[in-house]
């Protein structure tokens, strides 16, 4: 397997594993330190142990998603979105959904991984939800319908060639799993197959990214003005990190160190 750099080089599939990155920034005038931690939302336990160690030095951690007590609401929101999308789905989209579900059900039994929300408990008092309000706003029917419409519109822009390539991947890997032919490199191939697409990348940015990232930076700007704050972490999915880096650098922060984190080793 050749090395593949995804999400503006923030998510790397290499011959020996999958990697994300942590960036240490500092402002030359205020000396405020910022740790920008790009994550995959599943990984090996040692990956999250390393992430926890990095975050332990921060006064405040701004994280992606919702607090644990709102997790059921968050899941319900995505289930409701999926129901709306299913009503609009083309036959190929329904086939993709069915095969994707089977694929993940099968590999759960083959790879020992930990979910981020279980590995990094987000109920600490100095951990702040960066984009929780975005998801809670979707509890209103009109907001949910509008968001689902945006997701559907972007899904329609994905080419038939891309969808058929993805469907072929699922069927090929499911066949291999039945024959007990499987390795963790297949997980890397999955990420390359689904993410290495310009339209998909744009979808992640526009539909899943911009508004939530704006909310995060608004919270960040409020927190950094507090005198006692010495170190702030922003812990978000790797797909968001390149844009967060630009936001920090536009505010005068300078990157002093890059840490490579092994998400899955092959």
pLDDT digits (tens), the chain, 266 positions: 899 999 999 999 999 999 999 999 999 999 999 999 999 999 999 999 999 999 999 999 999 999 989 999 999 999 999 999 999 999 999 999 999 999 999 888 888 899 999 999 877 789 999 999 999 999 998 999 999 999 999 889 999 999 999 999 999 999 998 888 888 899 999 999 999 888 788 887 877 789 999 999 999 999 998 878 899 999 999 999 999 999 999 999 999 999 999 999 99
Please give the structure tokens belonging to residue 177: 């799993």
pTM of the model: 0.93
What was the pLDDT predicted at 197? 81
Judge contact between 187 and 111, C-beta under 8 A: yes
Judge contact between 40 and 105, C-beta under 8 A: no
- 20 Rama class: left (phi>0) / alpha (psi -120 to 50) / beta: beta
What was the pLDDT predicted at 18? 98
The radius of gyration of the chain from alpha carbons, rounded to an integer in Å, stands at: 19
What was the pLDDT predicted at 149? 92
Nearest-angstrom CA–CA distance, 39 and 51 = 9
Nearest-angstrom CA–CA distance, 189 and 107 = 13
**What secondary structure does DSSP assign to 17-75, as a single string?**
EEEEEEEEEE-TTT--EEEEEEE-SEE-HHHHHHHHHHHTT-SEEEESS--GGGHHHHH
């Amino acid at each position: 397997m050749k090395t593949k750099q995804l999400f503006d080089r923030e998510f790397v599939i290499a011959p020996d594993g999958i990697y994300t990155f942590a960036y240490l920034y500092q402002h030359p005038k205020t000396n405020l330190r910022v740790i920008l931690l790009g994550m995959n939302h599943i990984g090996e336990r040692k990956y999250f142990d390393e992430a926890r160690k990095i975050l332990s030095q921060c006064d405040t951690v701004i994280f992606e998603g919702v607090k644990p007590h709102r997790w059921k609401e968050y899941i319900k929101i995505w289930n409701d979105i999926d129901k709306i999308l299913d009503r609009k789905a083309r036959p190929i989209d329904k086939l993709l959904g069915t095969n994707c579900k089977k694929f993940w059900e099968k590999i759960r039994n083959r790879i020992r991984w930990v979910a981020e929300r279980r590995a990094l408990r987000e109920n600490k008092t100095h951990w702040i939800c960066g984009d929780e309000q975005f998801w809670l706003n979707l509890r209103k029917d009109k907001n949910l319908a509008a968001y689902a419409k945006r997701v559907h519109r972007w899904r329609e822009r994905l080419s038939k060639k891309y969808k058929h390539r993805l469907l072929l991947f699922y069927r090929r890997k499911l066949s291999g799993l039945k024959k007990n032919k499987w390795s963790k490199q297949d997980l890397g191939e999955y990420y390359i197959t689904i993410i290495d697409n310009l339209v998909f990348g744009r979808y992640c940015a526009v539909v899943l990214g911009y508004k939530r990232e704006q909310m995060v930076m608004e919270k960040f700007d409020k927190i950094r003005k507090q005198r006692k704050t010495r170190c702030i972490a922003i812990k978000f999915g790797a797909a968001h990190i390149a844009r967060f880096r630009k936001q920090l650098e536009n505010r005068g922060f300078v990157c002093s160190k890059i840490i490579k984190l092994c998400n899955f080793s092959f």
